[in-house]
Chains A and B, each alone.
Chain A
Amino acid sequence: MLSISDIALGTVQVLVLMALSPLLTGIMRKTKARTQKRVGAGILQPYYDIEKLLRKDEVVSDQASWIFRVSPWVNFVAIVTAAFFIPVFLANSPFGLIGDLLLVVGLFSLARFFTMLAGLDVSSTFGGLGSSREMMISALLEPAVFLAIFVVAITYGGTSLSTIVESASNSAVLPHPQLIFAAIAMFVVMLGETGRLPFGNHETHLELTMVHEAMALEYSGKSLALMEWSQSIKQILLFALIANIFVPWGMASSASPYSIGIGMATFVIKVAALAVGVAFLESSVAKWRLFRLPDLVAIAIASSMIGLAFYYL
């Protein structure tokens, strides 16, 4: 049974993730701007954006059906639900018994499915284009995600995130070698799921580079704020997953205030370091041609396959 304090801790973790996610986006934008010798907006800019969008009126096309109105909410709810299962600063996620890594991936797919439907719903050309690209990328990424998850799951004995992170934080300093391959695959998957370069570009609204932006192009006001915020939350969730599975140091194993403080600090440092690293990577690579993306996904798949071979043979 879940006690009251467990529920409170789990809820606090989710609230922390939701509150920190725009900051992470801001840090990444600032890093990218600085590496490109621009000054860039302050790292709190995403908060101001969301706050401004919430005050604005919403314009909805008269061609739009209920799917268009409902999908920001489906998106947001699915991703926040996924956030409940992900260990943030506690190794043992209080809601970990209810859902595992596969459920998280399923919830992400649900959110993505409704985003694609919304892109098609208003029958604008850009929305359809974005949806078709997103469909291609997600269909390619799916096998890579599952292979990487299987490598992690067989190493730590289960797909439950609490089990994985707990046994990861208890294992030796040198991880199992197959996890290096799984980490490579997860990193590629993370780039694809969050639409980072070389998969897509967040900064522009050019028709050649848009993937997520093309589907959210028709949204305005509160719906756009929801879409943007859930995208940031998804990003911080994936970063937290990678950081806590592959670099599980400093996670709090008990609920004492001291270890939670340590866990909190290391979590922020790990995720911020990963974000800065991804931003540097984004500054150094160009957007790949859409039909070259399978090459990258093939690297992820092959890497997980070698990880499996490493484990079994």
Chain B
Amino acid sequence: MEPLQLDIMEISGAILLIATFGVIARRGFMDWLNAYRLQSIVLAGVTAVIGYVTGIWEIYVAAVLTLLIKSIAIPKVLTYVTRQLEMESKTETNPYLSLRASIIVSALLVALAYFFSQQLPFKSDPVVDIYLPVSMAQFFLGLLALVNRRTALSQVVGLLVIENGLFLFTLALTHGVSLIIEVGIFADILVGIVISSILLFRMSRTFDSLDVGNLENLRDD
């Protein structure tokens, strides 16, 4: 493999990590959505780079699908949902960990992802070496966003970041599963987003808020 390809892969992995950080380091819901959109665009670029390096044309199709579905369709749906909900405040007011603490924790999680991916006995291949830790870091950061926040809307974004991490994980390890499965996964995500937005509407109608803490109360009626 040429050094230039390696350089491009490393740089794109770094940019993907920075884009993922946008989801952690911002406050408003629209900011997260924009960060997710940016991250998906970078992910599509990374997918195209993997396709170029491995020379498998199906990966290009996956890149185009990523660009279309994750950076255009899903943010559109979620923006529509936010507009319709008309919540009082669309910023996360009281996450469990403060913003600065969660930023530091997420830096540690990234280091942990690099450590873990060194311990795993996978075959040594530049694509795996570079993108596996990035995908694990994405997975961890999405998990952090998911457990750290109280509103259901922001948890959806955390889930999507986790999904991006898994997508990159499979792509780096298997160099693209067959296209049929890929398309099936994308369809699943779309359906999942639609279901979760219906859930969000129901939640906001029942409780007048999106705090998932409300779901834990038992009621008799």
Q: Which residues of A contact B (CB under 8 A)?
A: 172, 174, 176-178, 180-181, 184, 294-295, 297-299, 301-303, 305-306, 308-310, 313
Residues 1-29 of chain B, each 1 if its beta carbon lies under 8 Å from chain A, else 0 = 00110011011011101100100010000
Is residue B114 within 8 Å, beta carbon to beta carbon, of the partner chain? yes
CA distance A181 to B21 in the complex (A): 11
Contact check, B133 vs A313: say whether CB atoms are below 8 A apart: yes
Closest beta carbon of chain A to B103's beta carbon, Å: 4
Is residue B203 within 8 Å, beta carbon to beta carbon, of the partner chain? no
Classify the interface of chain B: helix, strand, loop or mixed: helix
Which listed residue, A177, A308, A313, touches B11 by the CB 8 Å rule? A177
Classify the interface of chain A: helix, strand, loop or mixed: helix
Which B residues are in CB contact (< 8 Å) with A178? Answer: 14
The A/B interface has a contact count, at CB < 8 Å, of 65
Is residue B68 within 8 Å, beta carbon to beta carbon, of the partner chain? no
Q: Which residues of B contact A (CB under 8 A)?
A: 3-4, 7-8, 10-11, 13-15, 17-18, 21, 25, 99-101, 103-104, 106-108, 110-111, 114-115, 118, 133
Which B residues are in CB contact (< 8 Å) with A302? Answer: 21, 103-104, 106-107
Which A residues are in CB contact (< 8 Å) with B118? Answer: 313
CA distance A177 to B133 in the complex (A): 14
Residue among A178, A294, A295, A308 facing the most chain B CB atoms (10 A cut-off): A295
- 7 closest Cβ pairs, A-B complex: A313-B114, A302-B107, A298-B100, A177-B14, A174-B7, A309-B111, A305-B107
Which B residues are in CB contact (< 8 Å) with A295? Answer: 25, 99-100, 103
Contact check, B100 vs A306: say whether CB atoms are below 8 A apart: no
Which A residues are in CB contact (< 8 Å) with B14? Answer: 177-178, 180-181, 310
Instruction: Specify the chain B residue showing the minimal Cβ separation from A292.
Output: B99
Closest beta carbon of chain A to B87's beta carbon, Å: 22
Contact check, B15 vs A180: say whether CB atoms are below 8 A apart: yes
